[in-house]
Structure 1
Amino acid sequence: MGKVLAGLSGVLAIAPYIALVKIGELLLQAYTTDTAVDSDAVWRYVFLLINTFAVRLFVIGLALSVTHFADVKISTLIREMTLHRLSHAPLGWFSSTNAGRIRKAVHDDIAQIHTLIAHQPVDVIQAIITPLALVGFAFTIDWRLGILAVAAIPIYLGVTARMMRDMGEKTVEMDLHLTRVSATMVEFFTGISVVKAFGTVGKAHKRYQDAADGFSQFYEAWVTPMLRGSSLAGASIAIPVLLAINLGGGSLMVASGWVSPIDVLATTLIALMVPSSIEVLAGMVWAYQLAGAAALRVTQALETPVLPQSDSVQNPQGNRVVFDAVSFAYGETVAARDVSFTLEENTVTALVGPSGSGKSTIAMLLARFNDPDSGRITIGGVDIASMPTHQLYRQVAFVLQDPQLCRMSVRDNIALGRPDASFEQVVAAARKAQIYEAIAALPQGFDTIVGQETNFSSGQAQRIAIARALLIDAPILILDEATAFADPESEAEIQNALSLLVEGRTVLVIAHRPESIAGVDRIIILDQGEVSACGRHEDLLDHPLYRKLWASRQRLTPSDVNEENS
């Protein structure tokens, strides 16, 4: 519909010129014959001019309304589909995907498609139909004047076509550069506080600087020749050039008696209008290239891998967790290889091992941040891959090293996993997590907006995360060294909160400090993604890797560790 209305407005564009020609003929006839002007006929053409111009504006407005309504509907649908897709993506996918790319796909790229949907149909059809209609009218006046009206167009089109070569490939390449700049900028500014604290700002922003320099060099090499060509193309359809061609050639035709001055004036005005329509078309080609690249990225976002979801709720028989020959790899890097162990109900099991041994990967597989490449994980005999997400996260809760607080009230942050929880339940969870006093001291209490009206220390944020887990009351708990970044005072409060949290639950602890898990029920030693040994603390003292972990942590020799634990 929008294209049809745009085509109609393009045809209506010739009506004012018809009216001007007729009015000019009436005035010229009256002047040459020294008679009175037929004012009634003049007013008829004036009304025709005004009315057709008004109708054309109305039709254009109606066409743009149709396409803009379509754009709003489609953009909303795409955003909903993209967010729905991302909401079902493996949580591990977000760790491997830059936040700048996600933001660009969800926000920038969808906004870029606005031109493709809301303006391109109307503007392109007008840019095609309007000059064709005007040039056609010019040829009906006189074929020689019609040729003069378009004489400069072949030069403009030839230069423009040369400039537009490889436009698609260059546009995609430019967009890749911009995406890289956006991604590295997000990385840099996200970690600016850390890099400043360690005095490594120069090194930290190098990736961003390199990305910006790469874009600058590419853009300069691409655009510089285009600017020269654009200048030549613009000069070929400049107003003085068009006036010189049409008025000069038209004057000679008038002198020869071939055409009238009114005919020359009409075709000259048409000659001045045609290039502007062609320039709009050229600009839309550029916008179309950008929107096409954006549409490609939106399509890729809509193809984000998702975790298979089951609609049938299966009831686990207890909270016993079994890892059965589980393997997982990040691309070519194997993070877990044929891992098998059991977490018995109401026990605390710790995963220890050097950095990169697969501790976090195995724990995140239990939380189903990703699915295993092979093997399976069961809770109470039920494969977690067959559990609906909402059921799984009623069974499994986790407290990570770096708790993320959302820009919402403290109450909503605590109730993030149970939005239907009552205020009394939220307060009870905060008390157990040793964070109630700090929240109550805030000006707005539990209604204080995090990140806007207050900010919490890492220790306080950790206790809010513990309050979340307490409120969910899941029978299985994953702890990723919750006290790793806490100050001594906060660490004691966090430990007290954790003591309440682990009580009566099946707990998996990712241990970075071996001394913090000496009293757990079971310790699993991981090495290069494989289970190296299992047992209690005293059973593993002779294990070389376990002795090495203790020695490196306490800065003791292996013999000192043996003496300390004898």
Structure 2
Amino acid sequence: MTTIDAPAVGVPEKDTATDARAQQKADARALDDLLRPVAPSLTVGRLLAVVSAILAVVPYIALVHIGEILLDAGHSDGAVDADAVFRWLRILLAAFTLRLAVYFVALLITHLADIRLGHLLRRRMIHRFAEVPLNWFTATNSGRVRKALQDDIGTIHHLIAHRPVDGTVAIVMPLTLTVYAFVIDWRLGLLAVATVPLYGAAMALSMRGMGEKTVLMDTKLAVVSARMVEFVTGITVVKAFGRVGHAHRAYRESAEEFQAFYHDWVRPLVRVSSLGTSLLAVPLILLVNIGGGAWLVHHGAVTVADVLATSLIALLIPYGIEVLMNAMWSAQIAGAAARRLTDLLETPVLADDGVRAEPRGHDVVFDHVGYTYGTGESAELALDDVSFTLREGTVTALVGPSGSGKSTIAALLARFDDPQSGEIRLGGVPVSEIDHLYRHVGFVLQDPQLPAISLRDNIALGRPDATEEQIREAARAARILDEIEALPNGFDTVYGADSGLSGGQAQRIAIARAILVDAPVLILDEATALTDPESQFRIQQALSDLVRDKTVLLVAHRPEVITGVDRIVLVRNGRVVAVGTHDDLASEPGYTQLWKSTTATFGRENR
């Protein structure tokens, strides 16, 4: 099973907090860089939000004047000035309508910016991933891509589409209304914000270190998730070998560590934040404002309309604070998503100097090739000074113990990555300079790699312009035609969705794909390793037709395959140990030992 290292135990909390703060700053920078293409649109959205927030004051002004008109009429026992009332009502409705219109336009601009940025990011990712080495697409990295495209881009949606407008309104509107409350009467203004300083102090206390804690929480959750995937993925193996308790322990310990961290963090936070939230409760705000306002009305300092207006303003302040707090949290989460997106967009790509050439013949030369997995201190040498030649029209087998570098050699010929040193040439031309390399190099791997499309499209993946008859002929040559036609939907069957194809059948579809492309150089990487004996026989028949007159690089272990090739390359620890025919290598100790072990292994399998 793949293991994922948990954070080091015993790291000082101060150092961890420092790392978290640095990570938080890096997230913020990544978010700023990511939003740069739509920054002008977001600025326009914020400016319109300011206009909308200022217009929100007008209805309160109108309500105060209407209240004064009605109160004056009541005190004087005179008639209500209907014209003045309707004039202020028209002003109220016009301001309210205009505010909604400006708010709608602001949201429209930011939502269009969100759509534009999402489209831009997906295009950048497509272009980037079209240039990264195919070796990069491991299960882990493919999961990162899927998460980025589906989850992380969605995470920053709220930050782009809503926060510039709602966040700005949440700041400007309460401030503007508070200013107006002080314009009405400075004492009523103080009552409107009386509980806010206390709330601010409580929240400042509870939010202390929130950024660092959020980063730590994200890290610890990632460890829990990784341990869970590791445990679930390997549950069959660990149960078979009676290691359930051992395998479960890593997941349990990481979950308990997260639980303890979260409990210690949230318990005091909840107490303080609950106290702070109670200071903005509606009953308390009404008690302070209406109670204090009634006392001022009783002494003739203000009118009832003034008290009602400032009380309504006081009720809107908590809403603005809540939106602002949610916006801060969204920014924190979006920053982590932006960093992950930025990391993917900066994935190293295959070198391309723009030189293009056509190979002259189909000899393949490995010239002092070296390759390393990873970089820096974690780098692992995979190939060291590998040199040998595949002659045109011959079959060359790569043999060696597991982990010796055979599949890496095959992958470099298919240019799943470039070597760090040396060169691979096809027909005298470096494979990095060959235009449309996969017209010249085909491959059938241990994993057939069939996407969830129709079987017809799977076979025609390398030649989309192939005719129906050509597709059927390729399937016939791969010994899979009859089995495809026996399916309810035939060639229209979608692989993985409405098909129950075996591993051997899927492998023969991959062979049909290679037959249709008909590349002059062919890589076979243990194409029969995971299939049953009957499938192996049919695959061998199909491969016999496929390799005819081609330059073939074969990665295999079965003795009967090894003895029938033109040349054998023995690889050990990433180096070529010997090259020759089966008879030439008969006296080579490493080959003799390998031959005996594989013969014994497959002899037992065939009993």
**What is the CA–CA distance in structure 1 between the aligned matches of 2:369 and 2:269, rounded to whole Å?**
56
Matched, 1:489 2:534: yes
Counterpart amino acid of residue 345 in structure 2: L
Shift in Å, 1:168:
2.6
What displacement does 1:304 show? 0.8
Question: Does structure 2 retain, via aligned residues, the 8 Å contact 1:481–1:509?
Answer: yes
How far apart, in 2, do the equivalents of 1:379 and 1:96 lie? 30
The equivalent of 1:511 in structure 2 is 556
Q: Is contact 2:493–2:499 with CA below 8 Å preserved after alignment?
A: yes
Tell me the CA shift for residue 516 of structure 1: 2.4
Which deviates the most, 166-175 or 400-409?
Answer: 166-175
Q: Which residue number in structure 2 is paired with residue 372 of structure 1? A: 419
Query: Displacement of 1:200 after TM fit?
Result: 7.0
The 1:523/1:188 distance shift into structure 2, 3 A limit, reads same
Q: Alignment partner for residue 358 of structure 1, among 393, 405, 415?
A: 405
Q: What do the CA deviations read for 1:93-142 (whole angstroms, capped 9, x no partner)?
A: 11274433222122211111101110111011101110111001001001
Local SS of the residue matching 1:259: coil
**Contact 2:558–2:599 (CA<8 Å) still a contact in 1?**
no
Give the Å deviation of 1:305. Answer: 0.9
Q: Out of 298-307 and 96-105, give the one that drifted further.
A: 96-105
Amino acid of the residue matched to residue 224 of structure 1? R
Aligned residue among 514, 521, 546 for 2:566: 521
Amino acid at match of 2:64: V
**Does the 8 Å CA contact 2:365/2:389 hold for their aligned counterparts?**
yes
The equivalent residue for 1:547 is 592
Matches within 5 A, 1:285-296: 285-296=328-339
CA contact (8 A) 1:515 1:550 kept: no
> C-alpha separation between the residues in 2 aligned to 1:150 and 1:313?
71
- Equivalent residue for 1:450, pick from 490, 495, 504: 495
Question: Over residues 494-537 of structure 1, what are the superposed CA-to-partner deviations in whole Å (9 max), with x where a residue is unaligned?
Answer: 00000011111111111233442111111111111111111111
Q: Which moved more, 1:239-248 or 1:477-486?
A: 239-248
Q: Return the TM-score normalized by structure 1.
A: 0.93
Q: Any idea what the Cα deviations from partners look like across 1:421-446, whole Å, max 9, x if unmatched?
A: 12111111101000000011111211
User: Higher mean Cα deviation, 537-546 or 368-377?
Assistant: 537-546
In structure 1, give the amino acid aligned to 2:112.
Answer: F
Report 1:345-494 matches (<5 A).
Answer: 345-388=392-435, 391-494=436-539
Q: Does 1:161 align with 2:204?
A: yes
Q: CA offset at residue 207 of structure 1?
A: 6.0
Deviates more, 1:511-520 or 1:212-221: 212-221
Q: Does 1:73 align with 2:116?
A: yes
Q: CA deviation at 1:195?
A: 7.2
Which of 63, 66, 73 does residue 30 from structure 1 map onto?
73
Contact 1:128 1:281 in 2 (8 A): yes
Change (3 A) 1:221 1:470: farther
Distance 1:448 1:96 in 2: 26
Q: How many residues end up aligned between the 2 structures? A: 555
Q: How much has 1:233 moved relative to structure 2? A: 1.4
Distance 1:361 1:440, change over 3 A: same
Whole-angstrom CA distance in 2 between matches of 1:444 and 1:536: 47
Contact 1:17 1:266 in 2 (8 A): yes
**What is the correspondence of 1:54-453 to structure 2 with a 5 Å cutoff?**
54-95=97-138, 97-180=140-223, 213-331=256-374, 332-388=379-435, 391-453=436-498
Note if contact 1:185-1:208 (Cα within 8 Å) is conserved in structure 2.
Answer: yes
In the alignment, the residues of structure 2 paired with residue 196 and residue 33 of structure 1 have an alpha-carbon distance, to the nearest angstrom, of 90
Is the alpha carbon distance of 1:109 and 1:139 closer, same or farther for their aligned partners in structure 2, counting shifts above 3 Å?
same
Aligned amino acid, residue 555 of structure 1:
A
The structural deviation recorded for 1:549 is 1.5
Partner of 2:18: none
Secondary structure class of the residue paired with 1:539: coil
Provide the C-alpha distance between the structure 2 equivalents of 1:149 and 1:357, rounded to a whole number of angstroms. 75
Amino acid at match of 1:340: S
**Do 1:100 and 1:179's aligned partners in 2 also have CA atoms closer than 8 Å?**
no
Query: Residue 512 of structure 1: SS of its match in structure 2?
Result: coil
CA drift of 1:161 comes to: 2.2
- Secondary structure (helix, strand or coil) at the match of 2:479 reads coil
SS at match of 2:138: helix
Deviation at 1:226, TM superposition (A): 2.5
Q: Distance in 2 between matches of 1:513 and 1:197?
A: 27
- Whether the aligned pair in 2 keeps the contact of 1:100 and 1:183 (CA below 8 Å) is no
Which residue type is aligned with residue 397 of structure 1?
G
Question: Hey, what's the Cα distance between the residues in 2 that align with 1:76 and 1:202?
Answer: 46
Counterpart contact for 2:64–2:306, Cα < 8 Å: yes
CA displacement, residues 311-360 of structure 1 (integer Å, 9 cap, x when unaligned): 44301111111111111111321110011111111111111111111111
CA contact (8 A) 1:541 1:547 kept: yes
Give 1:563's aligned residue: none
Q: Which moved more, 1:115-124 or 1:513-522?
A: 513-522
Q: Deviations over 1:267-309 (max 9, x none)?
A: 1111111121111111100001111111111111110111123
Contact 1:398 1:477 in 2 (8 A): yes
Tell me if structure 1 keeps the 8 A contact 2:52–2:102.
yes
The 3-state SS of whatever aligns with 2:469 is: helix
* Contact in 1 for aligned 2:128/2:349 (Cα 8 Å): yes
- CA 1:483–1:319: 2 relative to 1, 3 Å: same
Give the distance between the partners of 1:469 and 1:245, measured in 2 at CA: 80
DSSP 3-state at the match of 2:527 = coil
User: What is the alpha-carbon root mean square deviation over aligned residues?
Assistant: 2.2
Hey, what's the Cα distance between the residues in 2 that align with 1:422 and 1:177? 53
Find the aligned partners of 1:74 and 1:221 in 2 and give their Cα distance: 39
Tell whether the 8 Å contact from 2:359 to 2:434 is kept in structure 1 after alignment: no
For structure 2, the 5+ residue unaligned runs are 1-43
- Paired with 2:493 and 2:350, the residues of 1 have a C-alpha distance of 35
- Summarize deviations over 1:192-218 as a string: whole Å, max 9, x none: 777788887776676666655554444
Distance 1:75 1:258, change over 3 A: same
- Distance (whole Å) between structure 2 residues aligned to residue 385 and residue 184 of structure 1: 39
AA partner of residue 595 (structure 2): W
Greater displacement, 209-218 / 100-109:
209-218
Question: What amino acid sits opposite 1:261 in the alignment?
Answer: V
Change in Cα spacing, 1:32 to 1:10, as seen in structure 2 (3 Å) is: same
CA distance in 2, matches of 1:310, 1:196: 52
Q: Identical aligned pairs, as a percentage? A: 57
Q: TM-score, normalised by structure 2?
A: 0.87
| Deviation string, structure 1 residues 352-374 (Cα, Å, up to 9, x no partner) | 11111111111111111111111
SS state at 2:448 partner: coil
Q: Distance in 2 between matches of 1:87 and 1:187?
A: 29
Give secondary structure in 2 for the equivalent of 1:339: strand
Q: How many angstroms does 1:186 deviate by?
A: 5.9
